[in-house]
Amino acid sequence: MIRKSLIFFFTFVFSLFSLFSGEKSNYDYVNPFIGTGGYGHTFPGAVVPFGMIQVSPDTALKEVGNSYPWCAGYQYSDKTILGFSHTHFSGTGHSDLGDILLMPISGKLLMEPGEENSPETGYRSRFSHKSEFAQPGYYRVKLSDYDIDVELTATKRVAFHHYSFNKKSPSYVILDLIHSIYYFKEKNVWSYLRVLNSNLVVGYRQTTGWAKNRKIFFAVEFSRPFSDYGYKRYDENFYYFRSKGKLIKLKNKREAHEIYGKKLRVFFDFSGIKELYVKVAISGVDIEGALKNLRKEIPDWDFERVRAEAKKAWENELNKIHVKGSEKNKEIFYTALYHLMIAPMLYQDIDRRYRGIDHQIHKAENFTNYTTFSLWDTFRAAHPLYIILYRERIGDFVNSMLKHYEQSPEGMLPIWPFHANETWCMIGYHSAAVIAEAYLKGIKEFDYEKALDSMVSTATNKNYGGLRYYEKYGYIPVDKEVEAASKTLEYGYDDYAIALMARKMGKKDIFKRFIKRAFFYKNIFDKNTGFMRAKKSDGKFREPFDPLRANYGGDYTEGNAWQYTWHVLQDPEGLIRLMGGSKKFVKKLDKLFKIKGDEKKYGSVEDMSGFIGQYVQGNEPSHHIAYLYNYAGYPWKTQKKINLIMKRMFDNTPFGIPGNEDCGQMSAWYIFSALGFYPVSPVENIYIIGKPLFKEAAINLGKDKEFNIIAKNLSEKNIYIKKAYLNGKRLKRAYITHHELMKGGTLTFIMSSKPNKKWASDKKHLPPSAYSRFRAYVKD
Question: What are all long-range contacts of 582-591, with beta carbons under 8 Å and residues at least 24 apart?
Answer: 582/632, 582/633, 582/634, 585/628, 585/632, 586/629, 586/632, 586/634, 586/637, 588/530, 589/625, 589/628, 589/629, 589/632, 589/637, 590/637
Q: How far is CA 101 from CA 8, 93, 164, 266, in A?
A: 45, 22, 18, 10
Stretch that binds its own copies, among 13-21, 258-266, 595-603, 719-727 (CB under 8 A): 258-266
Q: Closer to its own copies at the Cβ: 252 or 528? A: 252
Q: Which of 24, 167, 257, 512 binds its own copies (CB under 8 A)?
A: 257
Name residues whose C-beta falls within 8 Å of residue 134's C-beta, 6 or more positions apart in sequence: 31, 32, 33, 44, 45, 46, 140
Sequence-ordered strand ranges (E) for 592-661: 611-612, 615-616
Q: Closer to its own copies at the Cβ: 208 or 523? A: 208
Stretch that binds its own copies, among 22-30, 252-260, 518-526, 634-642 (CB under 8 A): 252-260
Q: Are 57 and 44 contacting, i.e. CB atoms less than 8 angstroms apart?
A: yes
Q: Which of 60, 195, 734, 742 binds its own copies (CB under 8 A)?
A: 195
Q: Closer to its own copies at the Cβ: 200 or 548? A: 200
Q: Which of 68, 133, 184, 190 binds its own copies (CB under 8 A)?
A: 190
Cα(654)–Cα(39) distance, rounded to whole angstroms?
A: 10
- Does the footprint of its own copies cover residue 255 (CB under 8 A)? yes
Q: Closer to its own copies at the Cβ: 46 or 195? A: 195
Q: How far is the CB of 417 from its own copies (least distance, A)?
A: 13
Stretch that binds its own copies, among 34-42, 123-131, 182-190, 691-699 (CB under 8 A): 182-190
Q: Closer to its own copies at the Cβ: 186 or 300? A: 186
The residue type of 424 is W
Residues 440-479 that bind its own copies (CB under 8 A): 463-465
Stretch that binds its own copies, among 69-77, 224-232, 246-254, 734-742 (CB under 8 A): 246-254
- Does the footprint of its own copies cover residue 602 (CB under 8 A)? no
Stretch that binds its own copies, among 32-40, 43-51, 193-201, 684-692 (CB under 8 A): 193-201
Sequence-ordered strand ranges (E) for 670-740: 677-678, 686-689, 696-702, 705-712, 720-726, 729-730, 735-737
- Does the footprint of its own copies cover residue 286 (CB under 8 A)? yes
Residues 333-362 that bind its own copies (CB under 8 A): 358-361
By CB under 8 A, how many residues form the interface with its own copies?
35
Exposure of 142 in the CB half-sphere (CA atoms within 13 A) = 9
728, burial (CB in 10 Å: exposed 0-12, middle 13-18, buried 19+): exposed
Q: Closer to its own copies at the Cβ: 149 or 288? A: 288
Q: Closer to its own copies at the Cβ: 68 or 190? A: 190
Q: Are 406 and 365 contacting, i.e. CB atoms less than 8 angstroms apart?
A: no
Tell me if residue 689 falls in helix, strand or coil.
Answer: strand
Q: Which of 68, 133, 184, 192 binds its own copies (CB under 8 A)?
A: 192
496-509 in b/e burial notation, b at 16+ Cβ within 10 A?
bbbbbbbbeeebee
Residues 37-96 that bind its own copies (CB under 8 A): none
Q: Closer to its own copies at the Cβ: 427 or 741? A: 427
- Does the footprint of its own copies cover residue 410 (CB under 8 A)? yes
Cβ neighbour number for residue 406 with a 10 Å cutoff:
14
- Does the footprint of its own copies cover residue 594 (CB under 8 A)? no
Cα(413)–Cα(406) distance, rounded to whole angstroms?
A: 8
Name residues whose C-beta falls within 8 Å of residue 641's C-beta, 6 or more positions apart in sequence: 593, 615, 626, 629
Q: Which of 149, 228, 288, 651 binds its own copies (CB under 8 A)?
A: 288
Q: Which of 64, 178, 287, 313 binds its own copies (CB under 8 A)?
A: 287
Q: Closer to its own copies at the Cβ: 361 or 548? A: 361
The residue type of 626 is A
503 phi and psi angles, rounded to 5 deg: -60, -45
- Does the footprint of its own copies cover residue 235 (CB under 8 A)? yes
Question: Would you tell me the crossing angle of helices 327-340 and 382-389 to the nearest 10 degrees?
Answer: 90
410 phi and psi angles, rounded to 5 deg: -95, 0
Q: Which of 240, 277, 301, 424 binds its own copies (CB under 8 A)?
A: 424
- Does the footprint of its own copies cover residue 213 (CB under 8 A)? yes
Q: Which residues bind its own copies (CB under 8 A)?
A: 186, 189-190, 192, 194-196, 204, 206, 208, 212-213, 235, 252-258, 260, 262, 286-288, 358-361, 409-410, 424, 463-465
